[in-house]
Structure 1
């Protein structure tokens, strides 16, 4: 009797598992990019570090980013043979005797990026380092950064390597003017 009940259970299970219903409606289309998630770049020009803003300009992000996103910040440090030279922050400068002079650093929330200068006497830093600076904010979805294996990690210090690694179209940079 147990064998017959087991046989009916197996046959019933097979019969019900092969049933299909009608196909459901299509889902909402996703964003363009890899699996609907894209890395993006904002260029912020006219950034000034002054006593009035406590050497800490705040850059709004609109729309807000996700909690899992990664933000990398680069400062335009110059031009070499017609190519922009981007330095990753934190970026530190020292006096000739090795003492710390000043540096750029940042932190971020879902809604903004706070770029700030560190140093003992920021008012004495040459104006070429304090005024009319240009930064690039690279936002990389956490989904893309969480799968890196140790042998395949990005070199975040190299702006061009990051752009290549995450297939960012460098011609579609969004501008923010302060």
Structure 2
């Protein structure tokens, strides 16, 4: 009787093992990869007033990308503004900096409520040439109750501090 019980237990054990699948890919769920990427671009009619940049590696599903534009330098400090950002020109003319992203890349672009080829030379030089942006990858896990939901994301420095990136290397993309 003991042999039958042992044989039955062995068969149940083998059957349960066969229903298991082993995944060779190791996924580390608790690693938070917050990163900062910096790009400088010139918006032209030739690039349709947009530039696309590839991340060095794909971001994780659920991650968010925040985009900041270098707005000015004040007292030796960089002033970053959260995108989208609108500039009001003469009359009713306005242009906006905006962005979109996927897991593999992000695109920054300039939009206007008029044909951007009508920018004056001064406006073009001030708002389209050599514009610097920082893309901050915020891990999705951090947004799910890890205490950074109270951060003022419009403040670049508060965002960097909340993500622990004060001394991190900023990756420059071309």
TM-score if structure 1 supplies the norm length? 0.73
**Within the alignment, does 1:70 sit opposite 2:64 as a pair?**
yes
Q: Match of 1:8?
A: none
Q: Distance in 1 between matches of 2:144 and 2:93?
A: 34
Unaligned runs of 5+ in 2: 1-25
How far did 1:128 drift? 2.0
TM-score if structure 2 supplies the norm length? 0.75
CA gap of 1:55–1:90, structure 2 versus 1, over 3 A, is same
CA gap of 1:100–1:144, structure 2 versus 1, over 3 A, is farther
How far did 1:169 drift? 3.3
SS of the residue corresponding to residue 43 of structure 1 reads strand
Q: Distance in 1 between matches of 2:28 and 2:125?
A: 45
How far did 1:126 drift? 2.5
**Within the alignment, does 1:173 sit opposite 2:155 as a pair?**
no
Q: Match of 1:38?
A: 33
How far did 1:29 drift? 10
Q: Distance in 2 between matches of 1:158 and 1:88?
A: 7
Deviant stretches of 4+, over 6 Å: none
**Within the alignment, does 1:92 sit opposite 2:72 as a pair?**
no
Report the number of matched residues: 144
Q: Match of 1:162?
A: 159
What is the 5 A alignment of 1:94-113? Answer: 94-95=88-89, 97=91, 99-113=92-106
